[in-house]
Structure 1
Amino acid sequence: MLNKKKELYVAVAVGLIALGGAAVFASQSSSGDNAAKDKKPPASLTSVTISDQQATHIEVVPVKTYDFVEQNEAVGYIDFNQDATVQVFTPYQGRIRQVFVKAGDDVRKGQALFSVDSPDLVTAESTLISTAGLTKLTTAALERAKKMLETQTAAQKDVDQATADQQTADANFRAARDAVRIFGKSDADIDRLLQTRKVDGELTVNSPLTGKVTARNAAPGLLTQPGNAPAPVTVSDLSTVWMVASVSETDLPRMKMGQSVSVAVMAYPGKIFQGKVNNIGIAIDPATHRVGVRSEIKDPEHLLHPQMLATYRIRVADPVQSAAAPLNALVREGDGTMTAYVTKDGRTFTRRAVQTGLEQEGNRQILSGLQPGEKIAADGAIFLSNMLSLQSR
């Protein structure tokens, strides 16, 4: 009987323990469910506040306005302005006696480049001397015939013949003088030749323009002929150069003669050279479907050199004034949107999505999201983006 009571007590105790455990579990489960219901995900933050020390690393700039110009870009190269480049040949065959310049020299119009021993010049000068003597002789004969006619010691036909001879001699003299002048001799040189009656076959070839000697193939003793390449000397005016580029045929309708062009070369980062389109090709390259576009570029400092690689932008529309932000003020977020961080006091920054457009000279066009005059973070905008991301977790 005692054993049965003992077993009953044990059974009751086990039941009470089980019932208590169930009650505790139910209570904890209910409490956990309520806590889970009360816990909500944090809202996405859009503002961040920084300390005074952090603010020293953040550059705040105002949103400004900028005239954005729609432009087409192309790649090409620098070339000589062929309209201002002259291959200087001698007008007559001869052997080079002296060369007065070297490649790279600056020359003035009329400056001596080289001289040539020209047999043709010797012939022309000899003819001039002989016709000058014949002219003098026929002129004297005409004067004598006129005096004899006055004393009736000569007939009129003798005077007429003397007049014809004098006119023929004078015409030949003038032609011979012009022939020598073609060789580059001045009137002073010709008068000196007639006075000394000494033939000089050295022909001096002068520069036809002011510029720089860009090529020299002349050397003493070298036989040169008119038009026989290579030219002894080439002179170019480098105050303007050509920029030659290939443009896609789809851009051709937007190309116009006289359009403004901005050219940049790797040798001078940040420097822009200005010019205008002066030639648009007629034929399309069948392999690349591109067309050549040539621009004349002003280069008064002579910084550009032929065959330099260059990029240029052609203005194809009128400027459009728009809000603009520095490139470092815009942050591309993880979802691909572009954002800027706007502030009023330099301590609290609010993230704002923006739509962007053209990029020119370190400025990005703002189509929406910002207004001119608003203050935004420039240097340090990336820091604000990272800081805001950490606080949102």
Structure 2
Amino acid sequence: MPKAAEQGAHTNTEATVELTAGQLSAIKIEPVGTISFAVEKDEMGNIDYDQDLAVQVFSAYPGKVINALASLGDTVQKGQPLCAIDSPDLIQAESALISATSTLELTTKHLARVRDLHGTNGVSEREFEQVTSDQHTAEGAVRAARNTLTLFGKSEDEIDRVVSTRQVDRELIIRSPVTGRVTARNAQPGLLVQPGTAPAPYAVADLSLKWLIANVPEADAPLFKAGQQVRATVSAFPGRTFEGKITRLAQAVDPTTHRLMLRSEIADPKDELRPGMLATFTIRVSEPVESAAIPMTGVVRNGDGTMAAWVTTDRKHFAQRIVKVGLQDSNRYQVNDGLKPNELAVTDGAIFLSNMLQAPPSD
């Protein structure tokens, strides 16, 4: 039966309950234990691309887009073609190679004739040396022209094809410099492009890392430091945790919102996180603390907002004890006041005892 607290009892004791043998099966009694609680802080933020790994892909030469090969959201490999442009500079470079090749063929034939005549003293030594010099000059011009085309991204086979067919290949292929996802596409047929002039035809981002951007209250600013480990969760993947670390804190607090911007790098090897996702992240702000603990099923919140546990000395009579809780893990509260280690307490079924106070069983 419920009883009022006796005079001189523990100051946090409010009521007592006596249970029958049958009622005892509804609760669980254990000594209060101690565990290590991680001292952590939870904040909210948003996922974004890692802008340090996002590349604006420009053409190295001016021209006009004639074919867009990659679409927004496509996953591309390093070196994969993104678009083709019609480049006057490429046409000029290929024409120079064709001209240099023709000149080399002429000087080669001329050198062969002069070499034969030189063997029979049909030409002077001076003329032979001049023709030989012309041959070397022509060979150098061809090498330079071929090297120029490699700067345009042309392969040796493509260069050989230009030489053999004597026809220019107008397409300059713009390739992805990194493996990642196409995060922006401005390229479309007819777009005029200039080196380094916005907008870039494409943007490609390495998505193995993401940014988590958060604005934390200025009162919490001293808790955060670059290098701290971060655990992030998003509603799209319940039960999953994404690991990372804080990489940057703003130098100043926003004077309007009184919040401090911080940025974390989050590992996302499977590219599951999407920019704009709302994320909850947790950091450890100090070393774990050893403290008395009680399962959440052993604590009841009263109508006045206080938290109460139930203690016993004889496993039959139970006293309600007001407790102050602090940190918590997945299923336990840290008890800062009201319980001592090894004290017998109800660890499961506290709500059963509290209900008995409100609706005591009839005799």
Closer, same or farther: CA 63–136 of 1 in aligned 2, 3 Å: farther
Give, in angstroms, the shift of residue 85 of structure 1: 1.5
Hey, what does 1:235 align to over in structure 2? 204
For 2:4 and 2:17, locate their aligned partners in 1 and report how far apart those are by CA, in whole Å.
17
- The structure 1 residue matched to 2:61, chosen from 75, 84, 92, is 92
Q: Work out which of the residue numbers 222, 240, 258 in structure 2 matches 1:271.
A: 240
Q: Structure 1 CA distance, aligned partners of 2:342 and 2:60?
A: 67
Q: Does the 8 A contact of 1:55 with 1:346 survive in 2?
A: no
Q: Aligned letter for 1:126? A: S
Match of 2:85 in 1: 116
Give, in whole Å, the separation in 2 of the partners of 1:285 and 1:166: 70
Residue identity opposite 2:94 in structure 1 = E
1:299 corresponds to: 268
Matched to 1:282, the amino acid is Q
Structure number having the greater helix percentage: 1
* Residues 48 and 384, structure 1, Cα contact 8 Å, conserved in 2: no
Segment drifting more, 152-161 vs 83-92 = 152-161
Would you say the 8 A contact 1:45–1:391 is kept in 2?
Answer: no
Per mean C-alpha deviation after superposition, the further-off stretch among 357-366 and 293-302 is 357-366
Q: Is the 8 A contact 2:246 2:264 kept in 1?
A: yes
Cα separation, 2, equivalents of 1:177 and 1:60: 86
Question: C-alpha displacement at 1:216, in angstroms?
Answer: 2.4
Identity %: 46
Q: Structure 1 pair 256/202, CA: closer, same or farther in 2 (3 Å)? A: same
State the match for 1:285 in structure 2.
254
AA of the residue aligned to 2:43: A
Equivalent position amino acid for 1:79 in 2: D
Q: What does 1:24-39 correspond to in 2, within 5 Å?
A: none
Counterpart check, 1:190 vs 2:159: yes
Pair 1:126 & 2:95 matched? yes
Give the letter aligned to residue 221 of structure 1. Answer: G
- Return the alpha-carbon distance in structure 1 between the equivalents of residues 100 and 111 of structure 2: 16
Matched-pair contact (CA < 8 Å) for 1:323–1:372: no
- The answer to whether the Cα contact below 8 Å between 1:111 and 1:206 also exists between their aligned partners in 2 is yes
Find the structure with the greater CA-based Rg. Answer: 1
Residue by residue over 1:203-239, the C-alpha shift from the partner in whole angstroms, topping out at 9 and shown as x without a partner, is 2222222222222232233333333333322222222
Decide which moves more: 246-255 or 166-175: 246-255
Say whether 1:316 aligns with 2:285: yes
1:217 aligns with 2:186: yes
- Structure 1 partner of 2:19: 49
Is the alpha carbon distance of 1:159 and 1:59 closer, same or farther for their aligned partners in structure 2, counting shifts above 3 Å? Answer: farther
* Structure 2 letter corresponding to 1:188: D
- Paired residue total: 351
Give the TM-score of the pair, scaled to structure 1: 0.75
Judge conservation of contact 1:279–1:295 (CA < 8 Å) in 2.
yes
Cα 1:332–1:102 shift into 2, 3 Å: same
Render the CA deviation track for 1:80-111: whole Å, top value 9, x for unaligned. Answer: 11122122222222222222232222222222
Please tell me whether residue 137 in structure 1 is matched to residue 91 in structure 2: no
Please state how far the C-alpha of 1:297 moved relative to its aligned partner: 0.5
Q: Secondary structure at the match of 2:286?
A: coil
Displacement of 1:142 after TM fit?
Answer: 4.5
> 1 CA distance for matches of 2:314 and 2:104?
100
The separation in 1 between residues aligned to 2:342 and 2:20, in whole angstroms, is 24
Q: CA-to-partner distance for each residue in 1:105-124, whole Å, 9 max, x for gaps?
A: 22222222222222222211
For 1:240, give the aligned amino acid: L
| 2:166 alignment partner AA | R
More strand by share: 2
Work out the CA distance in 1 between the residues paired with 2:36 and 2:251.
33
Bigger mean CA deviation after superposition, 243-252 or 143-152: 143-152
Q: Could you report, residue by residue, the CA deviation over 1:326-377 in whole angstroms, capped at 9, with x for unpaired residues? A: 4343223466653323579987655444442223444422345254896633
Q: Deviation at 1:276?
A: 0.9
The answer to whether 1:330 aligns with 2:299 is: yes
